[in-house]
């Protein structure tokens, strides 16, 4: 949804001030590495997978544009796309960053609801944490955490809490003490309705009798909670889910969430590698053991949103998951998704005597720190796991190995890498690679995730005249004094821009490119921004000479086209004995001499 702010309002004035005090190169450089290229900066696009940089940032225009996927905008738009902020969240973030105090404004109903949920979740987290740390009701949870060897500083850092068996304690606290409404409690997802024969219904805490883990997004907001049943508190425990998550809400989307990312993000950026574990205790015990670049997922499969979120921080995933994930098709497809997004995927070699990272990290933290360094590429792991599981001696065993591995090896995007793994599989089965490839080709096309591929920076179907005309306009605009140059635009859009340029130069004694761009209507502004970003990173050293050379090249093309037209007219005049034949021939000779003179100037 596009946010429209009326011009001339205090909000508009403050947004302009925020943009003026925010350098787009500095801001984007905090998220992705930028490289200087001419007047601009370039990088691999963070919004789609590519191998050659097509993402361009202009310090002069304070905008970005990707020539691969088309993403473009200013500092606010970048935060909206990269951080999944709404418009006003991005404005407020930049205001805090720039030290600007925003004036009060009206929020949309959805914004109000989101902020209310954040506030309610924060209050609930404080209540849960207090009960765990200081209230007698929290004693069972404190004993349980001691059994799990979680230290007090770990409990404090991650704000762990406890929801008592009396599932109305938090309800009363939020309604009576914090003055939230029943509707706001329901919108948070923490509560469910418990029907009562007399009073209709009561809001009941869904996490009652559980250790509670606040779920932070990557910006530090508590978006929801998960809960782990405390053993011994409830009857029929085996009939209840050991772990539960909050439901989908305006703030919480399970497919986008990664447990611990907010706390691990700095270590992830530094190491460029994420150690992936399956649950909250795997994460907490690993963190406590000194491993900070760790992330927890629910189960063994990633979603596309989680992969795109991780791409912002790391280039490699080291999986410390249940060995059974090698037979999990959803997990392996998500691994293929990660590889297609340009990430390396490895599997941590797991010591058999420990059931999970939590147990190893608690019992032997030094060993766990060594284990995480021992990895194998994921497709090697798939082959090795299948061979161990089924054996490789009999024809039936080999057939089972092929059935377990080929559907996934076929998903490898790079054909050279894929062929190498076919060769490794053939070696493991003591057979010919041709036989393995033949079996692979019998399979149906695998379902795989497609990532948008980069298009070339120069439009493939653009004719040379149009391309040179756009290049010339960009060169003139990027020059210190566009008033020095006159040229003939090569398209209708360029003519409109050129006319406005001449008008602007007459009205303004001092040339400011940014002011000129902002003076253009929307469609022309976008066109100029695209041209400046496309050519601004490849400007030659002698700008004036390049402008002269480009004008000469366009003039030569124009002369050649004119000669072709004159040739056709002369041929027709000879057939019809046209009286204008002599003048056409004279004109032809004149244009020919002009073309020869232009070619000699090079």
Most trustworthy range by pLDDT among 87-96, 139-148, 519-528: 139-148
Can you give the three-state secondary structure of 5-32, one letter per residue? CCCCCHHHHHHHHHHHCCCHHHHHHCCC
How far the first Cα of the chain sits from its last, in Å, is: 53
Across 520-532, average pLDDT: 83
Its pTM stands at: 0.71
Long-range pairs for 322-327: beta carbons < 8 A, 24 or more residues apart: 322/278, 322/356, 323/350, 323/385, 324/300, 325/300, 326/381, 326/382, 326/385, 326/386, 327/385, 327/389, 327/404
Tell me which of 162 and 497 has the higher pLDDT.
162
pLDDT at 458 over 50: no
Kindly state the percentage of the chain with pLDDT values over 90.
38
Helical spans, DSSP H, in 148-248: 152-157, 169-172, 182-188
Strand (E) or helix (H) holding 41? strand 40-43
Across 472-499, average pLDDT: 85
Across 181-206, average pLDDT: 83
C-beta atoms surrounding 258 within 10 Å:
26
For 480-546, give the DSSP string: S-GGG-----SSHHHHHHHHHHHHHHHH-SS--HHHHHHHS-HHHHHHHHHHHHHHHTT--S-HHHH
Flag the least confident range among 117-126, 191-200, 267-276, 283-292.
Answer: 191-200
Contact 168, 182 (CB under 8 A): no
Kindly state the percentage of the chain with pLDDT values over 70.
90
- pLDDT, residue 488, reads 81
Across 330-337, average pLDDT: 76
The sign of the dihedral angle between the CA atoms of 335, 339, 342, 343 is positive
Record the tokens describing residue 300, joined without a space.
């063994």
Can you give the three-state secondary structure of 298-352, one letter per residue? CCCCCCHHHHHHHHCCCCEEEECCCHHHHHCHHHHHHHHHHHHCCCEEEEECCCC
Q: How confident is the model at residue 39 (pLDDT cuts 50, 70, 90)?
A: confident
Tell me which of 74 and 581 has the higher pLDDT.
74
- pLDDT, residue 447, reads 37
pLDDT at 329 over 70: no
Tell me which of 222 and 573 has the higher pLDDT.
222
Tell me which of 573 and 448 has the higher pLDDT.
573
Q: How confident is the model at residue 134 (pLDDT cuts 50, 70, 90)?
A: very high
Tell me which of 54 and 153 has the higher pLDDT.
153
Beta strand 161-163 with 72-73 is: unpaired
Provide Rg for the chain, Cα atoms. 32
Across 57-85, average pLDDT: 89
Most trustworthy range by pLDDT among 52-61, 255-264, 404-413: 255-264
Across 419-423, average pLDDT: 93
- pLDDT, residue 501, reads 87
C-beta atoms surrounding 162 within 10 Å:
28
Residues 120-132: tens digit of each pLDDT: 999 999 999 999 9
Distance of CA 434 to CAs 237, 381, 424, 427, 439, Å? 54, 22, 12, 12, 9
- pLDDT, residue 536, reads 66
- Please provide the size of the chain in residues: 602
Q: Which residues contact 28 (CB under 8 A, 6 or more apart)?
A: 34, 41, 43, 57, 64, 78
- pLDDT, residue 460, reads 39
- pLDDT, residue 326, reads 55
| Helix, strand or coil, per DSSP, at residue 416 | helix
pLDDT at 61 over 70: yes
**Residue whose tokens read 């004149």:** 590
Residues 11-21: tens digit of each pLDDT: 667 888 899 89
Across 163-184, average pLDDT: 92
Residues 287-311: tens digit of each pLDDT: 999 999 999 998 767 888 899 889 8
- pLDDT, residue 461, reads 36
- pLDDT, residue 548, reads 83
- pLDDT, residue 260, reads 95
Q: Tell which residue, 325, 321, 270, has the closest CA to residue 296.
A: 321
Q: How confident is the model at residue 198 (pLDDT cuts 50, 70, 90)?
A: low
Across 206-222, average pLDDT: 94
- pLDDT, residue 459, reads 40
Sheet holding 63-66, edge to edge: 35-37, 40-43, 55-58, 63-66, 72-73
Mean pLDDT of the chain: 84
Tell me which of 593 and 164 has the higher pLDDT.
164
């Amino acid at each position: 949804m596009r946010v429209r702010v009326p011009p001339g309002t205090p909000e508009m004035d403050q947004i302009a001030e925020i943009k003026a005090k925010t350098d787009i190169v500095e801001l984007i450089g905090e998220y992705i590495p930028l490289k200087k290229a001419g007047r601009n900066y370039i990088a691999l696009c963070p919004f789609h997978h590519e191998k050659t940089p097509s993402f361009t940032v202009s310090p002069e225009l304070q905008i970005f544009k990707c020539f691969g996927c088309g993403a473009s905008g200013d500092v606010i738009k970048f935060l909206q796309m990269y951080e999944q902020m709404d418009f006003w969240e991005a404005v407020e973030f930049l205001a805090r960053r720039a030290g600007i105090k925003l004036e009060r404004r009206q929020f949309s109903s959805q914004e109000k609801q989101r902020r209310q949920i954040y506030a309610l979740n924060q209050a609930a987290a404080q209540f849960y944490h207090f009960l765990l740390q200081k209230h007698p009701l929290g004693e069972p949870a404190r004993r349980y955490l001691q059994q799990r060897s979680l230290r007090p500083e770990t409990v404090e850092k991650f704000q762990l809490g406890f929801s008592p068996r009396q599932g109305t304690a938090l309800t009363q606290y939020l309604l009576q003490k914090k003055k939230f409404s029943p509707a706001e409690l329901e919108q948070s997802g923490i509560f469910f309705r418990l029907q009562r024969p007399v009073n209709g219904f009561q809001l009941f805490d869904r996490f009652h009798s559980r250790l509670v883990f606040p779920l932070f997004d990557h910006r530090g907001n508590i978006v929801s909670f998960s809960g782990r049943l405390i053993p011994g508190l409830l009857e029929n425990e085996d009939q209840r889910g050991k772990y539960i998550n909050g439901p989908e809400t305006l703030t919480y989307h399970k497919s986008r969430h990664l447990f611990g990312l907010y706390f691990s993000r700095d270590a992830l950026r530094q190491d460029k590698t994420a150690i992936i574990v399956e649950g909250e205790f795997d994460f907490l015990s690993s963190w406590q053991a000194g491993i900070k670049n760790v992330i927890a997922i629910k189960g063994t499969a990633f979603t596309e949103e989680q992969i795109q979120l991780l791409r912002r921080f790391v280039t490699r995933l080291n999986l410390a998951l249940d060995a059974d994930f090698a037979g999990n098709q959803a997990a392996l497809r998500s691994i293929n998704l990660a590889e297609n997004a340009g990430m390396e995927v490895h599997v941590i070699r797991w010591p058999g005597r420990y059931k999970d990272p939590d147990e190893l990290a608690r019992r032997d933290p030094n060993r766990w720190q060594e284990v995480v360094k021992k990895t194998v590429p994921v497709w090697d792991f798939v082959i090795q796991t299948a061979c161990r599981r089924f054996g490789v001696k009999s024809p039936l065993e080999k057939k089972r190995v092929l059935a377990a591995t080929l559907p996934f090896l076929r998903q490898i995007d790079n054909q050279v890498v894929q062929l190498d793994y076919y060769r490794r599989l053939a070696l493991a089965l003591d057979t010919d690679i041709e036989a393995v490839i033949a079996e692979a080709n019998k399979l149906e096309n695998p379902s795989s995730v497609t990532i948008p591929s980069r298009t070339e920076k120069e439009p493939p179907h653009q004719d040379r005249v149009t391309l040179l005309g756009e290049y010339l306009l960009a060169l003139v605009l990027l020059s210190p004094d566009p008033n020095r140059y006159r040229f003939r635009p090569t398209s209708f859009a360029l003519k409109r821009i050129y006319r406005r340029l001449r008008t602007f130069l007459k009205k303004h004694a001092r040339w400011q490119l940014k002011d000129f761009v902002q003076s253009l209507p929307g469609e022309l502004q976008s066109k100029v921004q695209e041209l400046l970003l496309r050519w601004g990173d490849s400007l030659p050293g002698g700008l004036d000479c390049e402008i002269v050379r480009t004008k000469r090249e366009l003039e030569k093309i124009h002369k050649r086209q004119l000669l072709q037209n004159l040739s056709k007219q002369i041929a027709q005049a000879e057939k019809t004995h046209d009286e204008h034949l002599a003048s056409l021939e004279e004109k032809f000779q004149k244009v020919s001499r002009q073309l020869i003179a232009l070619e000699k100037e090079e």
